Structure 1
Amino acid sequence: MADLTQEQWQEQLKNDDNAVIIDVRTDAEFEEGYIPGAIQIDIFNGAEFLQRAKQLDPQKNYYVYCRSGGRSGQACMLLNSIGIHNAYNLKGGIMEWQGETIE
């Protein structure tokens, strides 16, 4: 897992053809706005999160965010523990996101 600053995350994501964005917030938080292209997997729903995580392609690069960076850090560690080695945590989460969002 790597903690990336907003700038690092955006730059790396922009140049990555193998990228998947994962939003680990709740349904209600997701509906308030999300980063374009993100798929939502709520980490608070532990069993479903793990089940869906195990279906992810371990060859892809996962850019993970939450509200402030805490839950997404946990999510990256979980992804690492099931064999997904390229998981990138967005430090500061969507609260500090300067890029585009969909509301």
Structure 2
Amino acid sequence: MIDVDAANTSQHCPRCRDTERANRTTRDDFLCRRCGLAGPADVVAGVNVRDRARPAWVFVKHVPTARSFMAEYWTGSATPPGCGCVRPRRPGGRRAPGRPG
């Protein structure tokens, strides 16, 4: 869960970034006076909340874990073993038939 300041999210236009009280034509409708973007006010407010949370989500999503730390420590990369990103070699150092080397 990320806390986002919801102030003016229903009056702020996500397209042109204009914020004014007149953008809310009625309780349920949004119409930007500058660029003409129109839609349900709740949907526009939801888009604005999402856009405000997006920069914070990058930090939440990329918190190092013990697993990624150990994978980096033992293999020299941040890719956890078994994630499918690196194909394991067959015994004897050869790749599976049909797989590029």
TM over 0.5: no
**Higher-strand-fraction structure:** 1
**Rg (Cα) greater in structure:** 2
Q: TM-score, normalised by structure 1?
A: 0.20
Q: TM-score, normalised by structure 2?
A: 0.20
